[in-house]
Amino acid sequence: MTLRHGSSLAGGWTILASLFMASMLNAPVAHAADWNYRVRPDDNIWDLSRRYMKADVPWQKLQEYNQVTDPYHLPPGMKLRIPIEWLRVQPAKATVVAVAGKAQVELPGQAASAVEPGVQLGFGSRLITGPGASLTLQFADGSRVLMQHDSQLELDRMSAYGRTGMVDTRLRLQHGRVSTSVTPMTGAAAHFSVETPGIISSVRGTHFRVAADASTQRSQTEVLTGRVDVAGERRHTLVDKGMGVAVNQGAQPGKSQPLLPAPRLHCPTGPVTALPYQFDWPALDGASRYRVQVAPTDRFEVLLMDRLVDGNHASLPDLPDGDYALQVHGVDAGGLEGSDAACSIRIDGHPLPPLILEPQADGKVRDPRPRFRWTSTDDAASYAWQLASDEQFTQPLGEQNAIKGDSVRAPRTLPPGHYYWRVASRDHHGKLGPYTSPMTFDLVPEPPTPAVGDPVQTRDKLSLGWSAGAPGQRYHVQMDRDPAFPHPLVDEVVEQARLEIDKPASGRWYVRVQVIESDGYTGNWGPVQKLKLPCKACRVVAAGGGAALLWLLL
């Protein structure tokens, strides 16, 4: 056919367009979104229609759409296409897998009630976690969401497309934080999104976190695996693994930022027996804080600890013996939280040992058969005690395994030296908990008891002296008319081994001295010295060619 310029060319295009439209009318119409089913042996068009399609869509439409010439025989392996809008849709449920702490649910038209594990919730449910609380929801496709403390989450939409496995799940986080693990999706209708007042984060299978801060009107998304589409104010940004984005309410998502890498945790190599247990990690460049989380299992279905710390260390809470999972990640100056470092921990620290009363660590003991004392604990039925001269307790000098009280005495007299002791609690089931750390003490002899020598007196003064002790010792001196010293005239502590006082009145007096060690220990009183002062004042008079001592009363 020859086409001339102008109207002839336009007429030619009209003929071609007509031929194209005719061919399209004879071809099956391709819908924007189909769900594909792979035919299995013994499948037929009627059963598949009843199983997957809405009741008002006849099976003939499915036959026509797939150009099935023989509805009685569907070849195994054939790909059968079903338009999404023909699929049966029914409401889906979310199941509460685990709960820790105080969490409530508000169902449409009902008052709030406590959340219990195993309860199933439909769309329209509103979940609220209090301080220290957490819970995990599992959705129809196996996806899970961990709600952290002080959060509010609404189940906005939950639909399942028949038995196709496709689920449409849409959540609304009003405030707080959620960590989401979405099962990889197949099928055009599969959808999972978390909406905050500022953004919508949509995925088709990934692990990500979403947070909404009501006080700052700021939302953020952190992607740990896969990719997340973050939308806000008519703009979308695709956030890849290891990236995050923070958006102010009413603003467009900006460029995603790298998340902090996982810190290097110093995980314990054996069971944790000393509680509270403190663990640490090297500081991360760019981290202003760290989030520390502890859970019963590595699935982190509930959080037994969820805490932000300023330094690169934290302590485990007081947890029962058992296995736990721990994870830590850094928080940058902008508030984005980074990748997790994880540990598995086994606690074997109960019953807790008692508190030590005496002797304290690095103390001094003078009694050659010292007494050891500790506090009583409610969960202890008895105590085990050990004494040794070495820190490893390879050769105990004393050992008892079932002490009912809160003290014990050394079984024999000990020579002066350096010793170690420790104690552990045994519960009512017979389980022995960990020992305290070895407590050291030095057994030292009693300080010598000083005896007061002959006094030296002058007209107005009286000087008392005794043998000096070791450097650093002080001396407590008393003087009284009664040998029981009920009302001492002199009651002083001096640094030197002598004391000078104004001469007291005449008559009989008693003096005693005790040593005060440099560590404050007070020794025994020395022997009581009896003094007899003949007069309040006296003088020496020389008479004749010799000297005579005359005591003259004034």
List the CATH number of the domain containing 480.
Answer: 2.60.40.10
Mean per-residue pLDDT over the chain, rounded: 88
Q: Is residue 5 part of a domain?
A: no
512 and 476 within one domain: yes
Query: Which long-range contacts (C-beta less than 8 Å, at least 24 apart) are formed by 548-553?
Result: none
Q: Is residue 171 part of a domain?
A: yes
Q: Is residue 239 part of a domain?
A: yes
Which pLDDT score is estimated for 554?
A: 33
Does residue 534 have a cis bond before it (omega within 30 degrees)?
A: no
83 and 94 within one domain: no
List C-alpha distances in Å: 501 to 3, 455, 477, 492.
Answer: 141, 11, 11, 11
Domain boundary among 88, 104, 131: 88
Burial class (CB in 10 A: 0-12, 13-18, 19+), 180: buried
Q: Is the pLDDT of residue 525 over 60?
A: yes
> Tell me: the pLDDT tens digits for 257-314?
999 999 999 999 999 998 889 999 999 999 999 999 999 999 999 999 999 999 999 9
Q: What is the SS3 string spanning 368-397?
A: CCCEEEECCCCCCCEEEEEEECCCCCCCEE
> Tell me: the pLDDT tens digits for 259-275?
999 999 999 999 999 88
426 and 375 within one domain: yes
Which residues make Cβ contacts (< 8 Å) with residue 377, sequence separation at least 6?
A: 351, 352, 354, 425
Percentage of residues of the chain with pLDDT beyond 70? 91
Query: Is residue 374 within 8 Å of residue 452, measured between CB atoms?
Result: no
75 and 224 within one domain: no
Query: Is residue 357 within 8 Å of residue 375, measured between CB atoms?
Result: yes
In eight-state DSSP terms, residue 172 is: E
Q: Is the pLDDT of residue 2 over 70?
A: no
511 and 391 within one domain: no
Among all chains, which residue has been given the structure tokens 């721990």? 326
Q: Is the pLDDT of residue 397 over 50?
A: yes
The enclosing H or E element of 48 equals: helix 45-52
Q: Is the pLDDT of residue 546 over 70?
A: no
Among all chains, which residue has been given the structure tokens 């490893």? 392
128 and 188 within one domain: yes
376 and 339 within one domain: no
Q: Is the pLDDT of residue 89 over 60?
A: yes
Q: What is the DSSP string of 532-549?
A: EE--S----EEETTEEE-
> Tell me: the pLDDT tens digits for 183-225?
988 777 888 999 999 999 999 889 999 999 999 999 999 999 9
Amino acid code (one letter) for 279: F
Q: Is residue 451 part of a domain?
A: no
Domain boundary among 347, 370, 400: 347
Strand ranges (DSSP E) for 190-251? 191-195, 200-203, 207-213, 218-225, 228-232, 235-239, 243-248
With b for 16 or more beta-carbon neighbours within 10 A and e for fewer, the 394-433 pattern comes to eeebbeeeebeebebebeeebeeeebbbbbbbbbeeeeeb
HSE of 545, CA atoms in CB hemisphere, 13 A: 0
155 and 99 within one domain: yes
Q: What is the DSSP string of 50-71?
A: HHHB-TTS-HHHHHHHTT-S-T
HSE of 13, CA atoms in CB hemisphere, 13 A: 5
Which pLDDT score is estimated for 214?
A: 92
Pairing state between β 278-280 and 313-315: antiparallel
Burial class (CB in 10 A: 0-12, 13-18, 19+), 543: exposed
The counts of H helices and E strands in the chain are: 3, 44
253 and 105 within one domain: yes
117 and 46 within one domain: no
Q: Is the pLDDT of residue 415 over 50?
A: yes
Q: Is residue 550 part of a domain?
A: no
Mean pLDDT throughout 514-534?
Answer: 89
Q: Give the least confident one: 40-44, 343-347, 418-422, 542-546.
A: 542-546
* pLDDT band, residue 492 (cuts 50/70/90): very high
- Give me the phi and psi of 164, to 5 degrees please: -80, -20
Q: Is the pLDDT of residue 508 over 50?
A: yes
Number of domains in the chain: 5
Which residues make Cβ contacts (< 8 Å) with residue 269, sequence separation at least 6?
A: none
Among all chains, which residue has been given the structure tokens 């002490």? 403
Q: Is residue 4 part of a domain?
A: no
324 and 362 within one domain: no
* pLDDT band, residue 541 (cuts 50/70/90): very low
Q: Is the pLDDT of residue 339 over 70?
A: yes
Domain boundary among 71, 88, 105: 88
Q: Give the least confident one: 307-311, 370-374, 541-545.
A: 541-545
Beta-carbon count within 10 A of 162 CB: 16
191 and 54 within one domain: no
Which pLDDT score is estimated for 535?
A: 63
Q: Give the least confident one: 114-118, 186-190, 383-387.
A: 186-190
Give 247's strand partners.
Answer: 219
Q: Which domain holds residue 39?
A: 32-88
Q: Is the pLDDT of residue 537 over 80?
A: no
CATH number, domain with residue 57: 3.10.350.10
Query: Is residue 147 within 8 Å of residue 154, measured between CB atoms?
Result: no
Amino acid code (one letter) for 119: V
Q: Is residue 19 part of a domain?
A: no
Q: Is residue 271 part of a domain?
A: no
